[in-house]
Structure 1
Amino acid sequence: MMNEMIQYLSAVWELSLEAAPWLLLGLIIGGLFKSLVPQAFLQRHLTRPGMSSVIKAAVLGMPLPLCSCGVIPAAMGLRQAGASKPATSSFLVATPETGVDSISVTYAMMGPVMAIIRPVAALISAIVTGLLVLLFGDDQTQTVASRSDNNCCAADEKPNDIKPAQSWFEKARSGVWYALTDLYQSILKWLIVGILLAALIEAFVPHDWLIQWGDSWVVMILMLFVGIPMYVCATGSTPIAASFLMAGISPGAVLVFLLAGPATNMATLGVIRDHMGSRTMWLYLAGIISCALLLGLLVNVFFSGTQISISTEHAHNILPGWVEVLSVLVLLLLALLPFWPSKQPTTTGCCGSKES
């Protein structure tokens, strides 16, 4: 029993070392994206009806470091500013399915091929979903009234609150601090769950145990049933997906989970229904499901027809050992930051509104 525990803890430590530097880098870059891309810029390019706004919404949403919860008020804010239903739907898919932080961790835990496939698949999924809403939805150009009680957290901004202008450096510092504190706290739970699960599978499950089902539709559909109701962010889903790969599940089935998990949960679907209608909600769900299954099938065909393989240990030993250890220690300190008695920071949860 002691040997098994040591084996498991060793796997946890090794996976943490692999992921930590890339997660830290991704958080920093993601924070810079969030703070330096003006909200007015997003609104200006997403309010025009038609296919162009759908594509722009997908491209602009991809690098933003927002989780499934945090993207809801952001998307509804765009909707209230005049963004069309197709553009809002595209933004809702692209933003939580990928981000610079999740791409970094994907590279660390699943190698460069999946780090490329994942954002490309997210872009395709977002555009297709937006086009379905454009072609078959009942979009109306006028904005909709906000319902703060349906959001995961409500933004309470008063018109008399005038914020002083910030310099580029101040915005960048604020964005990085947001990413290392609030954003990190919002994804921490699923990061921990994912790494613990990945270590469990790596330590005790034979790598060929699930290979007999690895390429079947059954596994892909199972990944849909697991991912759709699950609240998991793009970064937090990565170690879970890596654990599926370790167990022998095909890359296509893993991609289904990576696409369906972050973009769908009961909160997101409920807000879409309340703010954009039931038809939009069903088209949104249909777009994600159809793209996830078809892209998963294409990924399996791609890997079966080439000599390319996915390594779940790709990034280990690329960086110096002290960088990996230091990154783990920094992330541990940041995880404990809310519990420090000397300084209790105001948190914004997953959506950005301050809580006392």
Structure 2
Amino acid sequence: MNIYKANNAVMNTVIDALIAVLLASWNVLLESAPFVLLGFVVAGLLKAFLPDDFVANHLGGGSTASIFKAAAMGVPIPLCSCGVLPAAAGLKKQGAGKGAVTSFLISTPETGVDSIAVSWALLDPLMTVIRPVVAFFTAIAAGIAVAVTEKHQVSVIPEVAPDPATEQQNACTSGCCCSHREPEPEGVAGKFTKGMRFAFGDLLKDIGGWLFFGILLSGVISVFLSPEIVSRYLSNEYLSMLLMLAISVPLYVCATASTPIAAALALKGISPGAALVFLLAGPATNAAAITVISKLIGRQATVVYVAVIVVMSFLAGIGVNALYASLGISITGWLTASAHEEGGPVAILSALVLIVLVARAMLPKKS
């Protein structure tokens, strides 16, 4: 009888914890869903009215200007760590320099209109601005570093375009965005339709699952990670940033999916610097993509690529903590629960629509 009561108590505890995680995740989804949908709409508009060859035509050669252009163009483009690889391979094949390719590889997955919109929903306005700005300068620094490294190489290694099949096998799913090109439709309506199909088809399929994973993980963090644990083990701002680097560099997480995770950690007391480190390093680096990147720009350039991301993320984290402190904002309480109140009917409708759209995008298409 006692064993039965014990088992029943354990089961009730597990069920209560599961319900708490789902409720916390649902609240995050309510807060972010309207902005996620808005971000995808803007992403579709960019895809519809920004010609595919526009980017490639401005990234040729190895000049510093091409590196700046690559960083600037990559910021709004909605490609994740998966989709940017074949896109970068195409740019390189069309004549883009390694510095420009490196810059594009960093600025594109670290930011995007969808992730900026979610940052506005879940983080504070200051972090929403800082995140793409730091990503932009990180991309430029890495691009210049790779370009300088290439100029000082004694021997020239023949460049071989990576096999697209290998790219998709190692770095992304079969629904990877930008893995194929369709003929350009004529007329505004045709372009708009194509853009929306891309945004709520390929792009949503590519990151929708990861977005929900990030939201679910944020629910787990909200329930099981107490402020006391953060205060005891992650109160040192430098140690917490190093820990975020150790977690984020090998982990595959897109910019949009990383945002609710960072928000959940911030609500528990993680400093803005540590949150920024996670937001910057996670989307631009992961164990699967590094192998493809090494084929794109070479092993030595890849080492430089990762090193610059790590150094710039850490320095940016220190700088952001100092900025918040100078503004009189506590780095352990910079994000408060009051910024994440439960949404109304619009938020609920947006959450339900997003769930349906992601489920539809991820279902296998009928042959």
Shorter-normalised TM range: 0.7 to 0.9
Q: Which amino acid aligns with 2:147?
A: L
Deviations 1:290-335 (A, max 9, x none): 10111011011111221246335465469x6111011011111112
CA gap 1:164/1:321 in 2 versus in 1, 3 angstroms = closer
Q: How far did residue 11 of structure 1 move?
A: 1.6
* Structure 2 partner of 1:291: 312
* Structure 1 partner of 2:43: 30
Indicate which of 169, 183, 191 corresponds to 1:171: 191
Greater helix share, structure number: 2
Secondary structure at 1:214's aligned position in 2? coil
| Alignment root-mean-square deviation, CA | 2.6
Q: Is it true that 1:337 corresponds to 2:360 in the alignment?
A: yes
Q: Is it true that 1:92 corresponds to 2:116 in the alignment?
A: no
Q: How far did residue 143 of structure 1 move?
A: 7.1
* Structure 1 partner of 2:70: 57
CA gap 1:157/1:323 in 2 versus in 1, 3 angstroms = closer
Q: Which amino acid aligns with 2:222?
A: E
CA gap 1:211/1:339 in 2 versus in 1, 3 angstroms = closer
CA gap 1:143/1:307 in 2 versus in 1, 3 angstroms = same
With normalisation by structure 1, the TM-score equals: 0.87
Structure 2 distance, partners of 1:315, 1:137, is 46
Q: How far did residue 337 of structure 1 move?
A: 1.1
Which segments of 5 or more consecutive residues in structure 2 lack a partner in the other structure?
Answer: 1-12, 169-173
Q: How far did residue 118 of structure 1 move?
A: 0.7
Contact 2:47 2:198 in 1 (8 A): no
* Structure 1 partner of 2:291: 270
Q: Is it true that 1:230 corresponds to 2:251 in the alignment?
A: yes
Deviations 1:252-306 (A, max 9, x none): 0111111111001123221222232111111111111110111011011111221
CA gap 1:338/1:87 in 2 versus in 1, 3 angstroms = closer
Q: How far did residue 34 of structure 1 move?
A: 2.3
CA gap 1:174/1:156 in 2 versus in 1, 3 angstroms = closer
Contact 1:210 1:249 in 2 (8 A): yes
* Structure 2 partner of 1:14: 27
* Structure 2 partner of 1:258: 279
Q: How far did residue 146 of structure 1 move?
A: 4.1
* Structure 2 partner of 1:109: 122
Q: How far did residue 142 of structure 1 move?
A: 9.4
Structure 2 distance, partners of 1:339, 1:27, is 16
Q: How far did residue 61 of structure 1 move?
A: 0.7
Structure 2 distance, partners of 1:239, 1:82, is 37
Deviations 1:48-102 (A, max 9, x none): 3211000100000111111101000000100000000000000000000010100
Taking the TM superposition and a 5 Å limit, the aligned residue runs for 1:311-330 are 311=335, 313=337, 316=340, 321-330=344-353
Structure 1 distance, partners of 2:24, 2:39, is 23
Secondary structure at 1:45's aligned position in 2? coil
Contact 2:205 2:362 in 1 (8 A): no
Contact 1:110 1:242 in 2 (8 A): yes
Structure 1 distance, partners of 2:184, 2:230, is 57
* Structure 2 partner of 1:351: none
Q: Which amino acid aligns with 1:207?
A: P
Indicate which of 124, 144, 148 corresponds to 2:164: 148
Structure 1 distance, partners of 2:244, 2:180, is 39
* Structure index of larger Rg: 2
Deviations 1:113-148 (A, max 9, x none): 111111011101101100101212248899753422
Q: How far did residue 230 of structure 1 move?
A: 0.9
* Structure 1 partner of 2:79: 66
Structure 1 distance, partners of 2:162, 2:221, is 44
Contact 1:89 1:126 in 2 (8 A): yes
Deviations 1:209-239 (A, max 9, x none): 3134234322211111111111111001111
Q: How far did residue 164 of structure 1 move?
A: 6.0
* Structure 1 partner of 2:201: 181
